[in-house]
Amino acid sequence: MDTVVETQGLYKYFYNKKGHTVIKACDDISLSIPKGKTLGLVGESGCGKTTVGRILLRLIEPDSGTVFFNGHNLTEMNEKHIRPLRKNFQMIFQDSSSSFNPRMRAYDALKESVQLYSDLRAKELRDEIYHLMSRVNLHKEMLSHFLGSLSGGELKRLDIARVLSIHPAFIIADEPLSLLDMSIQSQIVNLLLEVQKEENTSLLFISHDLRIVRMLSHTVAVMYRGKIVELAPKSVITENPLHPYTKHLWNPKISDFYVQFFESGCVYKNSCRVLHRKGFPLICSEKQPELLEYEKGHYAACHFAQE
């Protein structure tokens, strides 16, 4: 299978002003996404999902590690050489307002992105913009509105239209369903599936909700505090999750305790039911488990993954 996007050993730590507290937003992340497939990236708020997405597009620099896009090593290229490739990878931003100028009208925003890579004449351009609006279920009257006056859900859909207008080979969809009503959520899921089928698009679908991720993904990566703790084909992770955190995401009511231990050891130990059940084994507080392959394509990072 052709790999479109691949990362190896990505690290990104953030420090506070005094350089003391460290947030490990990416802590040795390796992922790959084949052509025409979706990788779902799921994990709680603050675990580093958006940071991974931003590094993949070289919107921020990793501390170390590599990102390949269609064989190009983006981490070794400067912006001048990356720019011509940017058409091929686009992000639906979690905070859509960050990708738009509030004083621009919706029509001009879409026109600008459609015209970036095509030279349609006036009528075709207008038809294309109307078509994009209908795909994301926005009324074309909204095109005359200023972006600053649109609601969060409307801006989100406009951002999705902006990305689709560019026909990228790879889309990062960062919480694309947040702020949308249930009925519109399913339309957007269907739209992404349709675009993927028509254009063989590769997708990184980011969400904190495993059940939503499951709808679109071929493979699911579960992230916790900067680490991938489980990675498997969707059907496998649904039927046979190995990591306690993945199990918790499927059934969040069972364990919502939080115990503050020390920093070393497994990233998940403070919330782990297995650790409690097994009477706090030392290994969990001493050693971060490696991401090991338990069956073909099914990886987990837990000392007790098989129990």
Ligand X SMILES: Nc1ncnc2c1ncn2[C@@H]1O[C@H](COP(=O)(O)OP(=O)(O)OP(=O)(O)O)[C@@H](O)[C@H]1O
Tokens of 282: 């030392």
Q: Would you give the DSSP letter of residue 291?
A: -
What's the per-residue H, E or C state across 93-113? Answer: CCCHHHHCCCCCEHHHHHHHH
Question: In the set 10, 33, 39, 47, which binds ligand X (CB under 6 A)?
Answer: 47
Q: Does 152 bind ligand X (CB under 6 A)?
A: no
Is residue 50 near ligand X by the rule CB under 6 A?
Answer: yes
With CB under 5 A as the rule, give the number of residues binding Mg ion: 2
**Pick from ligand X, Mg ion, none: which does 47 bind, CB < 5 to 8 A by kind?**
ligand X
Can residue 50 be called a binding residue for Mg ion (CB under 5 A)? yes
Does residue 48 interact with ligand X by CB under 6 A?
Answer: yes
Cβ proximity to ligand X, 49 vs 135, nearer residue = 49
Instruction: Based on the shown chain and the rule CB under 6 A, indicate whether residue 208 belongs to the binding site for ligand X.
Output: yes
Q: Is 23 in the site for ligand X (CB under 6 A)?
A: yes
Q: CA-CA distance, 217 to 13, in Å (whole number)?
A: 28
CB 166 within 8 A of CB 159: no
Number of C-beta neighbours around residue 252 at 10 A:
11
Cα–Cα distance measured from residue 304 to residue 307, given in angstroms and rounded to the nearest whole number: 5
To which H or E segment does residue 247 belong?
A: helix 244-250
- Nearest to ligand X of 14, 280 (CB atom): 14
Q: Cα dihedral angle (23, 67, 249, 266), rounded to 10 degrees?
A: -50
CA proximity to 145, closest of 137, 153, 136, 154: 154
Task: Kindly indicate which of the ranges 40-48, 109-117, 118-126, 135-143 contains the residues binding ligand X, using the contact rule CB under 6 A.
Answer: 40-48
Residue 94 or 202 having the CB closest to ligand X:
94
Partner interacting with residue 25 (select from Mg ion, ligand X, none; CB below 5-8 Å by kind): ligand X
Q: 48 contacts which partner out of ligand X, Mg ion, none, CB within 5 to 8 A by kind?
A: ligand X
Q: Tell me which of ligand X, Mg ion, none is bound by residue 241, counting a contact when its beta carbon lies within the kind-specific cut-off of 5 to 8 angstroms.
A: none
- Residues of this chain that bind ligand X (CB under 6 A): 14, 23, 25, 43, 45-51, 94, 208
The residue ranges that bind Mg ion (CB under 5 A) are 50, 94
